[in-house]
Amino acid sequence: MEQNKKMAAAPSQTILFIILLHIFYIFVPSHQYHPLDSLTPSEFSQIRSIVTKAYPESSTHKLTFQYVGLEEPSKQTVISWLKNETTTNPPRQAFVIARIDHQTHELIVDLSLQEIASKRIYSGYGYPMFTFEDQENADKLAFTYPPFVASIRRRGLKLEEVVCESFSVGWYGAEEEEGKNKKRIVKVMCYYMNGTVNLFMRPIEGISMTVDLDEMKIIGFQDRVTVPVPKADETEFRESKIKPPFRQSLKAITVVQPDGPSFTIDGHMIRWADWEFHLSFDVRAGMIISLASIYDLEKQQSRRVLYKGHVSEMFVPYMDLTEEWQRRTFFDAGEYGYGLCSMTLEPLRDCPPNAVFMDAYFAKQDGMSRKIPKAFCIFERYAGDIMWRHTEATIPGKTVREVRQDVSLVVRTVSTFGNYDYVNDWEFKQSGSIKVTVGLTGMVQVRGTTYTHKDHMEEDVYGTLVAENSIAIHHDHFLTYRLDLDVDGDANSFVKSKLRTTRVNDRRSSRKSYWTVDSKTAKTESDARIKLGSEPAELLFVNPNKKTKMGNLIGYRLIPEGVTGALLSSDDHPQIRAAFTNYNVWVTAYNKSEKWAGGLYADQSHGDDTLAVWSNRNRSIENKDIVLWYTLGFHHVPYQEDFPVMPTLNGGFELRPSNFFESNPVLKVKQPKEEYSP
């Protein structure tokens, strides 16, 4: 801030600073400045200075930073830079979504020129993602609001043991609309501790408040019903507080790498085995993997697989229709921020002993940076898995056995949205595969009830009775990934191959049937929408301009780990907003601006700016730069084992080379040096 004051007071110093900044961006070594690097704390400070200078605050003029992220150079610009086809670094820019006097402003801030390059006011449906400050300030309002205090006292609860949380409100049709200027609001509902830190197991039902986030005041209050607050008994999850008896302890286990890790980190570039890729962070997307390439030993060159991949949106609808619950249809990335909710990882618990950690940074509501220590961990994984093996026992008098250990590289983050924790892994394998997994753990959402035993229940309670007075509600988790595949180049096609049963009607075989493969290349976006699970299929992304020596198109295929589809009706308002979950697979023509499957403004969105809408343009996708969108999902019917904390439930998918190499790429992988613990 002091530097900004001096610059404002001394124009000559400002000009000199801008000249030096230009020199920095032109001549800084490439290993220090990569065009896809995350924004740095100093850059956040510069962005804040530029924007606040353009929009100075006053007693009647309020400015908040709702989103600050890298405005990436065009794809072709980045590729040209990587090929050293340009002598200068691409311009360094940021995309800012700010709320200024109750309006949403979109700004492109040019850090090279130290100015706002473009600006517009958004007037459509929906609002930008919440900041921590939005939620924290809204939650605090309850404790100075007399009707709420009276309701807590009437229930015989201690106000100092109450914790409140903000919930997005969604959208439920024209009947509740007040035009495009509807207020930016949240619902605030509360929990009770008093003997436990597992507050999500002790909801205070029936009380809800509506908060106007721009005015930061309560504009609605409801105290509808009174049901018992579930007991604190048996809700503790901290090891130091849990009462014995305990399960038998396992003996010590660790990972030993006496020679250190096999990967290197150069800025944000990570290199391991034959892989290299760029790792960055975004406050909405969280972890971003870019420029993933693998070295082909036979061709003696590095070959691109993935230009960019990240979580695009997460849809979590609950199936409870009671007053305080029916609006719980969350868009966790677009409303709360998959990156904003990233947690500091705990060494030896979240990550193994051989892990290396990296920090992440984001802009707070005031524009200043905040650090997330140990937001990423990178480690090599060996869990006794086998990469490949064979025993040749048919040679008379001789047995030949060959085995290779499967060692892979993992990049991990954890995002926590209130009660749920999501463990996010990107795993790179020496075989050329990329495995993406997400693990669900944390606490299920429970609703307080009068019921204490299942035999007493006479109505649809929308969930499972997991403890006395505690119903864990049925719900879904849908994570949609944006995967900009560049399989050995950016001109790709999508081929769907169905496995079809064929009857044998002639005498060529004594068999009655066999199956064959029917392949079809998708011409347009509508051809590429797929609901998985109804029939076996191979989903292949090929470069139609390149073939192997055998004449096969080189490619990568998508292998889903499990298939879950949307069950809500298509005319249900939450599903209209989340229409990107109507299909498991979408393929669209590349468009830099199409990042967020649920739309740029997810909070109170109307479904008019989603992947489903973009796909209706039905653009050509054959031999084009195309993007794969894959949705993995979980229908979660809770069980008593999910109480009071849920064991991790995993799902994911694999991108696997398919005629990408001429032969098995790990045939020549050497056995790692063996190291045995005493």
**66 contacts: CB under 8 Å, gap ≥ 6:** 97, 98, 99, 104, 128, 129, 130, 131, 365
Cβ atoms of 597 and 312 within 8 Å: the answer is yes
* 3-class DSSP string for 267-305: CCEEEECCEEEEEEEECCCEEEEEEEEEEECCCCEEEEE
Cβ atoms of 78 and 123 within 8 Å: the answer is no
C-alpha to C-alpha distance for 120 and 114, rounded to whole angstroms: 18
Cβ atoms within 10 A of the Cβ of 457, count? 14
**344 contacts: CB under 8 Å, gap ≥ 6:** 372, 373, 374, 375
Residue 50 phi/psi, 5-degree rounding, is -65, -45
Residue 71 phi/psi, 5-degree rounding, is -90, 100
**20 contacts: CB under 8 Å, gap ≥ 6:** none
Q: Is 332 a catalytic residue?
A: yes
C-alpha to C-alpha distance for 559 and 582, rounded to whole angstroms: 19
The helix or strand, by DSSP H or E, that contains position 409, with its residue range, turns out to be: strand 408-417
Q: What is the Cα 602 distance to its own chain's centre?
A: 14
Cβ atoms of 4 and 56 within 8 Å: the answer is no
C-alpha to C-alpha distance for 565 and 580, rounded to whole angstroms: 11
Tokens, residue 297: 């030993």
C-alpha to C-alpha distance for 507 and 509, rounded to whole angstroms: 5
Catalytic residue among 37, 134, 282, 332: 332
Tokens, residue 95: 């995309």
Cβ atoms of 502 and 516 within 8 Å: the answer is yes
C-alpha to C-alpha distance for 306 and 292, rounded to whole angstroms: 5
Residue 78 phi/psi, 5-degree rounding, is -65, -45
Tokens, residue 552: 């096969």
Q: What is the Cα 311 distance to its own chain's centre?
A: 3
Q: Is 527 a catalytic residue?
A: no
C-alpha to C-alpha distance for 293 and 43, rounded to whole angstroms: 28
Cβ atoms of 305 and 298 within 8 Å: the answer is no
Q: In 28-162, which residue ranges form alpha helices assigned H by DSSP?
A: 41-54, 75-82, 132-141, 146-154
Cβ atoms of 625 and 495 within 8 Å: the answer is no
**632 contacts: CB under 8 Å, gap ≥ 6:** 438, 478, 479, 481, 560, 561, 562, 564, 584, 651, 652, 653
What is the length of the chain? 678
The helix or strand, by DSSP H or E, that contains position 12, with its residue range, turns out to be: helix 11-27
Catalytic residue among 318, 420, 556, 590: 420
Q: Could you give the 3-state DSSP secondary structure of residue 613?
A: helix
Catalytic residue annotation: 332, 420
